[in-house]
Amino acid sequence: MNITKFLLLAVLMPGIDVLAAAEPLLERLRVDHAAWATAERDFRARRESGALVGAEASDYAAYVARLQRRVAEDCAALSDAGLPSPEYMSCPHFETAVATRSAAIDQAAEQSRDERIASLEVELASGLADFDELLLREQERVKAAAPRSASGGGMGSGTDEDGHGGDGSGGGEGSAGDTGTGDASTTSGARSQAGGVGERSSSGAGGAPGRTSRTGATRQPPGIPDGRDDDVVARQLREAAEKETDPELQKKLWEEYRKYKQGTR
Amino acid sequence: MRCCRVLIPLLLLLQAGCSTLGLQRDIGNEVALQHATVEIPEDHLLDVWIELFDAGALPRDKDDASGLSMDIRQAESRYMPVVLRDAMEKTGYWGAVRVVPRDTEGGEVVVRGAILASDGERLELRITALDATGREWFSRTYESARVEASAYQSGVQPPAEPFQSVYYAIANDLASFRARLTAGEITTIRRVAQLRFAADIAPDAYAGYLQHNDQGHYSITHLPAGNDPMYRRVLAIRERDFLLVDTLNGNFDNFYREMQQPYSDWRRTRSEEAASLHQIEQDALKRKLLGVAAIVGAIAIEASGNGQRSASSSVLRDAMVLGGVYAIKTGFDKDSETGIHRDAIKELGDSFASETRPLVVEVEGQTHELTGSAEVQYARWRSLLKQIYASETGLDGGAE
């Protein structure tokens, strides 16, 4: 009796070993698969409703792709352990992931139809994940390249949606209306922009040509009139004065500007 | 004659009708943006792709073209679609509204625009809207009222858009057309857009699901099964397509923000100069005409005297001749002033163009790089899908 038990155990042991080793793999696959399915469903629903855009969407897509890749790896591991993926998951490419793992380069010609499809599936999923990462990087770059000037008037990035519509929302507070009246104060970035042409830098040399260069501060003596009704000559004088770095010369230029403005009134 | 009596009012009536409903819309200064009064269910929302505008051509008249350049137009062709996009996004009628490069496939509703005129004082756009089924919603010209330089308020952050009414009118027309669509039509548009993408990315599998006639209209012949694994793969790629478009919009947004202030400044200054120019041209012409009239009058006095000149008429005649000559001279002086203003406008245009050119090149470079990289990816995915399809269906030859 004991001998029979022993023999039976000896026959079944390898199978039991395999099952015991497969259990954590199966569990991991179940968890990963559930996470992937839920995330993908949620991602699709959010994307279709328009609730998910930009960097957030790219992030989420990359996350879903990573989960998908993990599921494919779980399937491969299960296959290596000599067990098939559970059928109820109804995901044929899982099996193929196994094949992809086990199929060495030289064995490609010997792949079965399913293995071949699985291999292509994994390649596709991997390509999608890489592309998600590329887009994510690109979106980060775009975000970093957003013009600094947007925050100058207290309107943080992306807040111009209403503001520039001109429909009464009145975007930047701290606007420029009060400039030029004060003492020898420095005018804010926002004000300088409002000054118009003068603040634009079109040097074209060095740095990022054409990008608006906001030095942030322009010294302006007291009593300088508002530049909003400047004609071309006045604007050029103003521009020269604003750009001038030599204080003496700058003072003279402002004086010229003031005289000219008085003369044209 | 009788025929004309009937025909002329009819033509006038037709013309009046066109200005509000037909091919041409003259936009006043105050157009309110229509908002959706109720929340539109998600499955009734249509995504809109606004293509970068066609920059058009500059006016043939040398004076009208003064200070304008194709560099500025190129910049505007990227700037204006963003303004329209933002207006449409505020209405609540649409799903995702995005700016895309021209001839980008895959949109549910596509809006195409061409700049017919834009000089800071006036804006004229030709807008064509069509959906994924190939049905043209409308193709109209929108012409703004003349905008005074004072509309460009300096110091307002962010700068107000003086032609906002034009964009609102376009957004309203699109919303009106959409409101006429039935739920079934909206579903069809969405499905056709999906299938067109599927047919583009996996033609072997999905080209047969759509019919395409000579007029460019698409109709669905049959739909993929709900659990079609190939369709699921295609939709996964389409998600990436949306993400790509989102990323491109980030570039267009940055460009828009960079250009907003200098563009507003340029338009304001150009409007001021152009207004001065018009005034001086009118003054100069008036003075010359007055001068000519005075000289002609003096000659008439001379002629009417028949040689019997009284002292008073002689003085009057001489005064008129001198006055006339003076008026003509000041008229010519005014002409030289117009030259100064014309030069100023040109200088402004050159300065703005040189400033925006690098920006345009930059945004073009980035979007090309991205779309180029996407094209390489898409080509690879097309090839993979082709191979998977060939393997799944048992058709050989898909392997590469």
pLDDT per residue over B262-275, tens digit each?
888 888 888 887 77
Q: Residue B371: how many CB atoms within 10 A of its CB? A: 17
Whole-angstrom distance, CA of residue B333 vs CA of residue B271: 22
Which residues from A are below 8 Å from B95, CB to CB? 50
Contact of A5 with chain B, judged by CB distance below 8 Å, is answered with no
pLDDT confidence band for A99 (50 / 70 / 90): very low
pLDDT at position A54 is 59
Min Cα distance A80 → chain B (Å) is 24
Quick check: A94 pLDDT over 50? no
pLDDT confidence band for A53 (50 / 70 / 90): low
pLDDT, averaged across chain A: 60
Length of chain A: 265
> Searching chain A, which residue's CA lies closest to the CA of residue B83?
A165
Min Cα distance B362 → chain A (Å) is 9
Whole-angstrom distance, CA of residue B248 vs CA of residue B245: 5
Task: Please list, in sequence order, all residues whose beta carbon lies within 8 angstroms of the beta carbon of residue B179, skipping any fewer than 6 positions away.
Answer: B93
Peptide bond into B158 cis (omega under 30): yes
Whole-angstrom distance, CA of residue B171 vs CA of residue B94: 10
Quick check: A90 pLDDT over 90? no
Facing A167 at nearest CB: one of B164, B236, B254: B164
Structure tokens at B105: 């496939």
Quick check: A129 pLDDT over 60? yes
- Mean pLDDT is lowest, of A125-139, A152-166, B226-240, for A152-166
Rounded mean pLDDT, A202-228: 45
Does A50 contact B95 at a Cβ distance shorter than 8 Å? Answer: yes
pLDDT at position A158 is 36
Quick check: A160 pLDDT over 80? no
Structure tokens at B119: 């000089």
Rounded mean pLDDT, B172-194: 96
Does B86 contact A164 at a Cβ distance shorter than 8 Å? Answer: yes
Which residues from A are below 8 Å from B260, CB to CB? 160, 164
Dmax over Cα atoms in chain A, in whole Å? 123
Contact of A192 with chain B, judged by CB distance below 8 Å, is answered with no
Whole-angstrom distance, CA of residue B231 vs CA of residue A72: 19
Identify the residue among B239, B351, B360, B382 best suited for mutation to test binding to A, counting A beta carbons within 10 A and taking the highest.
B239
Structure tokens at B142: 């929108």
Which residues in B317-346 are b (16+ Cβ under 10 Å) and which e? beebbebbeebbebbeebbebbeebbebbb
Does A47 contact B239 at a Cβ distance shorter than 8 Å? Answer: yes
Beta bridge partners of B66: none
Whole-angstrom distance, CA of residue B57 vs CA of residue B373: 31
Contact of A37 with chain B, judged by CB distance below 8 Å, is answered with no
- Mean pLDDT is lowest, of A141-150, A176-185, B316-325, for A176-185
With vertex at residue A139, the alpha carbon angle to CA A138 and CA A142, rounded to the nearest 5 degrees, is: 90
- Mean pLDDT is lowest, of A182-196, B8-22, B178-192, B317-331, for A182-196
Whether the CB-CB separation of A131 and B375 falls below 8 Å is answered with no
Question: Would you kindly state where each structural domain of chain A is located, as residue ranges?
Answer: 12-146, 180-264
pLDDT at position A161 is 37
Min Cα distance B391 → chain A (Å) is 6
pLDDT confidence band for A69 (50 / 70 / 90): confident
With vertex at residue A82, the alpha carbon angle to CA A76 and CA A86, rounded to the nearest 5 degrees, is: 65
Rounded mean pLDDT, B153-177: 89
Q: B123-131 and B109-118 as β-strands: parallel, antiparallel, unpaired?
A: antiparallel
Rounded mean pLDDT, A14-35: 71
pLDDT at position B389 is 80
- Mean pLDDT is lowest, of A94-98, A178-182, A255-259, B174-178, for A178-182
Whether the CB-CB separation of B183 and B305 falls below 8 Å is answered with no
pLDDT confidence band for B381 (50 / 70 / 90): confident
pLDDT at position B294 is 67
pLDDT confidence band for B78 (50 / 70 / 90): very high
Q: B136-144 and B123-131 as β-strands: parallel, antiparallel, unpaired?
A: antiparallel
Whole-angstrom distance, CA of residue B219 vs CA of residue B210: 6
Does B384 contact A149 at a Cβ distance shorter than 8 Å? Answer: no
pLDDT confidence band for A97 (50 / 70 / 90): very low
Does B240 contact A135 at a Cβ distance shorter than 8 Å? Answer: yes
Q: What is the dihedral of CA A220, A223, A225, A226, to 10 degrees?
A: 60
Quick check: B10 pLDDT over 50? no
Question: SS3 of B54, please?
Answer: strand
In percent, how much of chain A has pLDDT > 70? 46
Quick check: B314 pLDDT over 80? no
Q: Convert the pLDDT of each residue in B368-377 to its tens digit.
A: 777 777 777 7
Min Cα distance B268 → chain A (Å) is 9
Whole-angstrom distance, CA of residue A100 vs CA of residue B296: 100
In percent, how much of chain B has pLDDT > 90? 36
3-class DSSP string for B183-210:
HHHHHHHHHHHHHHHHHHHCHHHHHHHE
Min Cα distance A244 → chain B (Å) is 19
B6 or B291, greater pLDDT: B291
Q: Residue A143: how many CB atoms within 10 A of its CB? A: 15
Both ends of chain B: CA-CA distance in Å?
Answer: 76
Of the candidates B251, B287, B282, B329, the residue with the CA atom closest to the CA atom of residue B78: B251
Whether the CB-CB separation of B133 and B218 falls below 8 Å is answered with yes
In terms of Cβ atoms closer than 10 Å to its own Cβ (0-12, 13-18, 19+), residue A5 is exposed
